[in-house]
Structure 1
């Protein structure tokens, strides 16, 4: 949950551009660094990572290049001049990132000139001459209280005893707290977008509002409020294309039909469940949050299975992990129909439904229409009470 919540902090452009390249310049004056110190700049262009270096003379260094759109970048200072590869191996951990001693600065590179100044270090540097970086600073300042709340909730979860952490009540409580914080975050991002319809950060913020499973009804009006320049950019047009595709599984749409084999190799078709409320539950044996959510799903299934409700589990396990899939079904007490083509993230049904994160679910009504999505914790029980009546 924490990684999903902090997704907004990455703000990494994910869509390719085909626009004309524009020149950029980064001019920096940081302390009194001198030879053999070097500065390194790392950023992504499409699928490629670009790394550049510059010598530092009396604290001054310059980078130049071309980009097609603003890109998220990291600037480092290698004070001992050991070279990029050795510097990275000495200062970065694959799991935790840069060490506390590493002098680095995250920024956006955009066309034109970006100025960086500091009396001593990159970590204390001031960025000027860049609208995108100005917008980024304002947005981060607005989001800081939310990030601090998320950190506090994470610490609360870590401080709980193992018994508490395994408790469905405790897990549901944590889920509810993160959900409330996510709602607060989304509201703040929407406010930023509406106040800055021509900012490149608004386009990225919209991606964070969308999350891994966007609601077209929510996202499309926000997209339409952006400036024509942003909407007609290559990235804007690709986002428009993605939104059009998402309408296939929007609430109110007829659920796309599919066929996959169950645990015994028998073909099961979604449309064969017509006449019942069906929860399509995307999960996997290797997915920790899925396994934590399963007790809630089991409890809800037992409560409503006699009221024209059932579940169709779709696993994103691999061919080599079929035994783990079967063992998880038994261990977690998943009595409903389970299917999978055992193709991991390339699962045909997951691709059809645009599933990029699990657990994820879709509630289908007896006529085959999608009536709700992503019902976690008590939300699933609440929705079924609304549709089927209180038990």
Structure 2
């Protein structure tokens, strides 16, 4: 009899124990419309993760997550968006519609959770004054009323606030390294810090964060070296819109125009419309292949714009944001469109930047 009672107790405890990877978001927002649809958006994946309906000015979401992520709650009927971070444990939003609207595009202070969201608010309190001063300096810098000498003074003032933001942010992230938000923010600032600074931060991370997707991404960036003309082009793998696996090296033997773009990039679309039909026709019989690699994260947008542009050449992606893409790290992509001309052996012959005339730059090499 005692053994049976013991087994029942174990069973009950096992069934009622909380999953450590579960989040539970409960929101009560005065003034939101009854029966409004609420979307939970994931910025990392750039997709809607869940939806629900407002009942009695309240709604909730619950799910299991492996890692925290930057999120937003969207209530279209009330034109309301609330930015915050999803993390394991209880998350609450208690406020009214108008107050939440005043927060705008910033992380909402009305979102309460155990760890990450409080850290974000401390981070914002620390950095916001410097961002405000930077904005003031920028407005003065871009004013048409200042002369050349005054411009130099204002430019130095602007750069001073910018440097201060980087320093203050780095110090804060180093003091608060053991969370996914700080790791994400360090990745956002990666190009402003030295490899030594990034290495010092990375070494403070616990194993779980080092092994996380963003921990691996930071490590890859630290170990990456940007290619130059004369180097062999790094391999790129991905899938096209039909799901076919694509490798850049599959097209060795031809001259390759490797073009980095995205459907949300207006200059990319403009350049493809203006230049690519001409390039395709001009070099059709020259062992020449066009390869587009997209930094889209939303497949629907990528597909839609690709169809609108009548892209019938190689067009593939990993659906990874440019700022978090190992491919962008290796090729040193900081802006798009950026293109590379590769030799039949895979050597980089020319890097063609956003401002360059693509047709002229290709002609300098291929027309010889």
**Normalized against structure 2, the TM-score is what?**
0.52
Determine the structure 1 residue equivalent to 2:30.
31
Determine the structure 1 residue equivalent to 2:205.
226
Determine the structure 1 residue equivalent to 2:86.
109
Residue deviations 1:276-316, cap 9 Å, x none? xxxxxxxxxxxxxxxxxxxxxxxxxxxxxxxxxxxxxxxxx
Say which of 330, 334, 346 aligns to 1:356. Answer: 334
- CA gap of 1:37–1:186, structure 2 versus 1, over 3 A, is same
Where does structure 1 lack aligned partners over 5 or more consecutive residues?
A: 1-19, 81-101, 250-254, 260-316, 323-341, 359-391
Q: Check conservation: 1:36, 1:79, Cα contact below 8 A.
A: no
Residue deviations 1:191-212, cap 9 Å, x none? 112211212222122123323x
Taking CA–CA contacts closer than 8 Å with sequence separation of 6 or more, which of the two structures ends up with the larger relative contact order? 1
Say which of 147, 151, 155 aligns to 2:139. Answer: 155
Residue deviations 1:219-269, cap 9 Å, x none? 2222223333322323212211221114x68xxxxx77459xxxxxxxxxx
Say which of 57, 62, 65 aligns to 1:64. Answer: 62
Q: Matched residues in 1 for 2:219 and 2:155: separation?
A: 31
Residues 74-153 of structure 1: pairs in structure 2 closer than 5 A: 74-79=72-77, 102-121=79-98, 122-123=100-101, 126-153=110-137
Q: Matched residues in 1 for 2:223 and 2:184: separation?
A: 18
Q: Check conservation: 2:29, 2:97, Cα contact below 8 A.
A: yes
Q: Matched residues in 2 for 1:79 and 1:321: separation?
A: 42
- CA gap of 1:357–1:175, structure 2 versus 1, over 3 A, is farther
Q: Matched residues in 1 for 2:157 and 2:272: separation?
A: 33
Q: Matched residues in 2 for 1:49 and 1:244: separation?
A: 30
- CA gap of 1:182–1:343, structure 2 versus 1, over 3 A, is farther
Determine the structure 2 residue equivalent to 1:184.
164
Residues 1-391 of structure 1: pairs in structure 2 closer than 5 A: 22-44=21-43, 46=45, 48-50=46-48, 52-79=50-77, 102-121=79-98, 122-123=100-101, 126-161=110-145, 173-211=153-191, 215-246=194-225, 257-258=230-231, 354-357=332-335
Shift of 1:29: 0.8
Shift of 1:171: 6.0
1:159 aligned counterpart, secondary structure = coil
- CA gap of 1:221–1:51, structure 2 versus 1, over 3 A, is closer
- CA gap of 1:240–1:51, structure 2 versus 1, over 3 A, is closer
Runs of 4+ in 1 over 6 A off after TM superposition: 342-346
Q: Matched residues in 2 for 1:258 and 1:171: separation?
A: 40
2:189 aligned counterpart, secondary structure = helix
Q: Matched residues in 1 for 2:143 and 2:21: separation?
A: 50
Q: Matched residues in 1 for 2:110 and 2:230: separation?
A: 54
Q: Matched residues in 2 for 1:62 and 1:320: separation?
A: 48
Q: Check conservation: 1:33, 1:58, Cα contact below 8 A.
A: no
Q: Check conservation: 1:197, 1:227, Cα contact below 8 A.
A: no
RMSD of Structure 2 on Structure 1 (CA)? 4.1
Shift of 1:351: 7.5
- CA gap of 1:70–1:354, structure 2 versus 1, over 3 A, is same
Q: Matched residues in 1 for 2:206 and 2:168: separation?
A: 19
Q: Check conservation: 1:21, 1:68, Cα contact below 8 A.
A: no
Corresponding residue pairs, total: 232
Q: Matched residues in 1 for 2:274 and 2:101: separation?
A: 46
Q: Matched residues in 2 for 1:351 and 1:129: separation?
A: 34
Shift of 1:218: 3.1
Shift of 1:23: 3.3
1:73 aligned counterpart, secondary structure = strand
- CA gap of 1:147–1:351, structure 2 versus 1, over 3 A, is closer
Q: Matched residues in 1 for 2:200 and 2:72: separation?
A: 33
Moved more, 217-226 or 178-187: 217-226
Q: Matched residues in 1 for 2:213 and 2:329: separation?
A: 24
